[in-house]
Amino acid sequence: MSYPVMPIPFKPPRLVGLSEGLLASHYENNYGGALRRLIAIEEKLSSVPLENTPTYDLNGLGRERLIAANSVILHEVYFDCLGGADGIGGPTVDPTGPLADAIARDFGSFENWKTEFTAMGRALGGGLGWVSLVWSSRFERLSNQWSADYTHALAGGIPILALDMYEHAYHMDFSSNADAYVEAFMNNLHWDRPTKRFMDAIGISGESGLTEDNEVSVEELQRMMASGNAPLLLDICLDEDMAKRSDKISNARTLAPQNIEIWIEDLPKDQPMIGYCVYGYQVSGNAVGEMQRRGLNAKRLKGGIAAWHAMGGATEPLAK
């Protein structure tokens, strides 16, 4: 069984007080690791002869699947909540709309909710766990849920916003100062995506999450490569981003975006190609847009090489 990777929905260098290195490591290693582990456990369970397997083995696999699945879900909610006011990066602003109204109703005020949520996060500092804003259809209200690990969840609860208090989420930037990390997290919230998640939970949102026609997911690219129908891969990164990288997707051609007027003339006219940058935003998007305007069969990789790393895709060292 396969699960799609969620591309990181903001530009890590633009967040305030949370470094790109911390966010990239958290996304690729911790979220990506949980996703790869979940897939491996599902494959293991599908091949186990259940009638002959000791109960302790089944219990262990079941528990590990729960841990991996909850880790995937909570990490996706965590990253989806970040991005500041415009969703890409920059300081947050207080929410408005249906979620803000529900928070005020269920907690008395937005400030009451924020005080309780951040206090619960700080209380987990130096330990392990999560704090999540959760919608319960049974109780018809929002509540803040404390979780010591990935096996704790409110039954039937839908996470709307999640704060990771495991040390991997902050130690690189903040050492043991969990309070400063909680403040930085709150200062980078993007409320539009949690609001949509809340509206979906209560059944009043009809938006589609389909991939755009000019994008290819990492799962699609993996299937293409496995079938022997790999497109021409173009690694299109700014020099400052390239200096921070050590690898590229296997067999990708490395191209400088500022020199597009030179190399675009040498690209094959009839071959499918996929361009990517670090996170899949303007750099590769602008380059692919120009290629499409010139009549080339080009798309961009959704989520960039960061999403490829998270899925454990094959890479090779960059030539330095």
Q: Which pLDDT band, with edges at 50, 70 and 90, does 320 fall under?
A: low
What percentage of the chain's residues is helix, strand, coil (to nearest 5)? 50, 15, 35
Range of the domain at 76: 12-201
Are residues 114 and 255 both part of a single domain? no
The predicted structure's pLDDT at residue 88: 86
Does residue 211 have a pLDDT over 60? no
Domain tally, the chain: 2
Q: Which pLDDT band, with edges at 50, 70 and 90, does 206 fall under?
A: very low
Mean pLDDT, rounded, for 44-51: 88
Mean pLDDT, rounded, for 143-166: 93
Whether 208 is covered by a domain: the verdict is no
Are residues 197 and 220 both part of a single domain? no
**Is 8 in a helix, a strand, or coil?**
coil
Q: Which pLDDT band, with edges at 50, 70 and 90, does 212 fall under?
A: low
The predicted structure's pLDDT at residue 210: 34
Are residues 180 and 229 both part of a single domain? no
Mean pLDDT, rounded, for 80-87: 94
Are residues 239 and 276 both part of a single domain? yes
What single-letter DSSP state applies at residue 182? H
Place of tokens 């490569």: 225
- Please tell me the least confidently modeled range out of 15-19, 161-165, 208-212: 208-212
CA 228 – CA 151 distance, rounded (Å): 40
Are residues 187 and 225 both part of a single domain? no
Last residue of a domain, one of 172, 201, 230: 201
- Please tell me the least confidently modeled range out of 203-212, 253-262, 298-307: 203-212
- Compute the chain's Rg from CA coordinates: 21
Mean pLDDT, rounded, for 273-293: 92
